Structure 1
Amino acid sequence: MLGLNHTPVSEFILIGFSAFPPHLLPIFFLLFLLMYLFTLLGNLLIMATVWSERGLHTPMYLFLCALSISEVLYTVAFIPRMLVDLLSAQRRISFQACATQMFFSFTFGFTHSFLLTVMGYDRYVAICHPLRYPVLMGARGCVRLVAWSWVGGIIIGLVVTATIFNLTFCGPNQIQHFLCHVPPLLKLACGHNVPVMALGVGTVCITALLGCFVLILLSYAFIIAAILKIPSAEGRHKAFSTCASHLMVVVVHYGFASVIYLKPKDTDSQKSSALMSVTYTVLTPFLSPIIFSLRNKELKAAMKKAFLSRLYPSHT
């Protein structure tokens, strides 16, 4: 990167956890470790179930499998480092490692948002245009949607990371966060072009996130309108149940994000900001596989058939 040879800062110090009492850090470590392991296990279980059960080889579960992959990679990008820092007195991260962490977190994070949008479109086609569903959501079309979601995430990751790390960092080098996040890094940058770069990065990120959110809202506006036209209550319930888990994940995803990024600035503090950021980055991936596993009867039955029947054959 161009800015790498022009900055005297060779490393950063992450001080996001310094606001918490030291005796609580081992408790946080154990809690976050268990949640992280459960997140990995839940998503791997979803992927293994979709892979092993031929009845789940449909567009909806292809997208769910891709979503689980992006979620696993997103958490791997920063949670292991965060767990180490919880028990470490020296929370230093090199300039290159900070840039790498930011690239992967933004890439997988935005890929996750794009895939949620694609899943909303899939449910819209399935409910509003069921006769055209096999054509619109064919194998090639689904692969292209997943591929473009990844391409979009990679592009945003590259744009944001290249923009931030082309800035000059003259010191201090203490990041008031537990990971290499854009706002605290911008506070450490120096130069007349920092406000312009900050505006550009903010515009790209907000436009992408709001665009995804608006498309999901439009999809569900048409879905709800179509469901209300179904004459029987049983038919309406069956139609809505196919998208209930996706809708709950969207609410959790954007609900936590709005609390963090849209809260009033005058109520912000280092401690509350770090706590809410940890909640979003750890709790949201933790809840996602739970919601999909418990709210999706077909997936839950497939998990029981694929795994529990092998462990407890007498109960199947």
Structure 2
Amino acid sequence: VAICKPLHYGTLLGSRACASMAAAAWGTGALYALLHTATAFSVPLCQSNAVDQFFCEIAQILKLSCSKSDYLREVGIIYFSLCLICGCFVFIVVSYVQIFRAVLRMPSEQGRHKAFSMCLPHLAVVSLFVSTAMFAYLKPPSISSPSLDLLVSFLYSVVPSAVNPLLYGLRNQELKAAVSKTYIFNIHKMHASLTGVSR
């Protein structure tokens, strides 16, 4: 909306629309988590209760399951979730196609560059999340290993969450100035301490 219909931004995305979108995102996220948690806790475990993961991931819990019906129910939920994620990803890609078409029609090269620099990092983070999450849940068991599972789950659970604040925070001019000022201050302080030591 900001790029394709900038003049209608205020009317299309008012506080009520933003609150509705935030409530929908939080509500579906809470429902999704509750569904997985309830199903995971109902799965009887035959083996130990230790998972080869740094968090309680559903795929790792399923490896410990001894009930075929509960296992299949949770697998069904996972595939349904992946379909929803793919649907969201397709929506994001279609949105970006519209954005890129609008950006390419901009007369100013500087405007095009600024719009692309805002869109591409977000698309890269979303692509990383979706591709690694799908790989984690759809990869064949033959290529599964504890270290690979750990790496893939780290890529989809930690990296996007850690990178997003950097991507969007460093666009803020005040934050950029504060980071730059702190960096320069620390360089001067380190230089002063090194020259003091050498004397």
TM bin, normalised by shorter chain, reads: 0.7 to 0.9
Aligned AA (2:81): C
**Residues 120-139 of structure 1: matches in 2 within 5 Å?**
125-139=1-15
Aligned AA (2:25): S
CA 1:310–1:171: 2 relative to 1, 3 Å: closer
Whether contact under 8 Å (2:65, 2:71) holds in the other structure is: no
Aligned AA (1:191): S
Aligned AA (2:124): M
Q: Distance in 2 between matches of 1:175 and 1:241?
A: 40
Aligned AA (2:82): I
CA 1:188–1:258: 2 relative to 1, 3 Å: closer
Whether contact under 8 Å (2:128, 2:155) holds in the other structure is: no
CA 1:278–1:250: 2 relative to 1, 3 Å: closer
Does residue 251 of the first structure (1) align with residue 127 of the second (2)?
yes
Whether contact under 8 Å (2:104, 2:112) holds in the other structure is: yes
Q: Which residue number corresponds to residue 302 of structure 1?
A: 174
Whether contact under 8 Å (1:164, 1:197) holds in the other structure is: no
The alignment's TM-score, normalised by the length of structure 2, stands at: 0.77
Q: Which residue number corresponds to residue 166 of structure 2?
A: 290
CA 1:179–1:147: 2 relative to 1, 3 Å: same
Deviates more, 1:302-311 or 1:178-187: 302-311
Aligned AA (2:141): K
Deviates more, 1:141-150 or 1:242-251: 242-251
CA positional deviation for 1:268 = 1.6
Based on CA coordinates, which of the two structures has the bigger radius of gyration? Answer: 2
Q: Distance in 2 between matches of 1:198 and 1:167?
A: 9
**Residues 134-149 of structure 1: matches in 2 within 5 Å?**
134-149=10-25
Whether contact under 8 Å (2:43, 2:70) holds in the other structure is: yes
CA 1:306–1:237: 2 relative to 1, 3 Å: same
Whether contact under 8 Å (1:245, 1:292) holds in the other structure is: no
CA positional deviation for 1:306 = 6.5
Whether contact under 8 Å (1:253, 1:284) holds in the other structure is: yes
The number of residues matched between the two structures is 184
Q: Distance in 1 between matches of 2:135 and 2:39?
A: 26
Q: Which residue number corresponds to residue 192 of structure 2?
A: none
CA 1:304–1:231: 2 relative to 1, 3 Å: closer
Q: Distance in 2 between matches of 1:262 and 1:171?
A: 23
Q: Distance in 2 between matches of 1:223 and 1:240?
A: 9
Does residue 196 of the first structure (1) align with residue 68 of the second (2)?
no
Whether contact under 8 Å (1:170, 1:188) holds in the other structure is: yes
CA 1:202–1:279: 2 relative to 1, 3 Å: closer
CA positional deviation for 1:220 = 0.3
**Structure 2: 5+ residue stretches without partners:** 186-199
Q: Which residue number corresponds to residue 87 of structure 2?
A: 211
Deviates more, 1:227-236 or 1:144-153: 227-236
Whether contact under 8 Å (2:133, 2:152) holds in the other structure is: no
Q: Distance in 2 between matches of 1:259 and 1:244?
A: 22
Whether contact under 8 Å (2:130, 2:156) holds in the other structure is: no
Does residue 167 of the first structure (1) align with residue 39 of the second (2)?
no
Does residue 268 of the first structure (1) align with residue 144 of the second (2)?
yes
CA 1:276–1:245: 2 relative to 1, 3 Å: closer
CA 1:270–1:224: 2 relative to 1, 3 Å: same
Q: Which has the higher contact order (CA 8 A, sep 6+)?
A: 1
CA positional deviation for 1:139 = 1.2
Whether contact under 8 Å (2:136, 2:152) holds in the other structure is: yes
Percent identity, aligned pairs only, is: 36
Q: Which residue number corresponds to residue 235 of structure 1?
A: 111
**Structure 1: 5+ residue stretches without partners:** 1-124
Q: Which residue number corresponds to residue 180 of structure 1?
A: 56
Higher strand share: 1
RMSD (Å) for aligned C-alpha atoms:
2.7
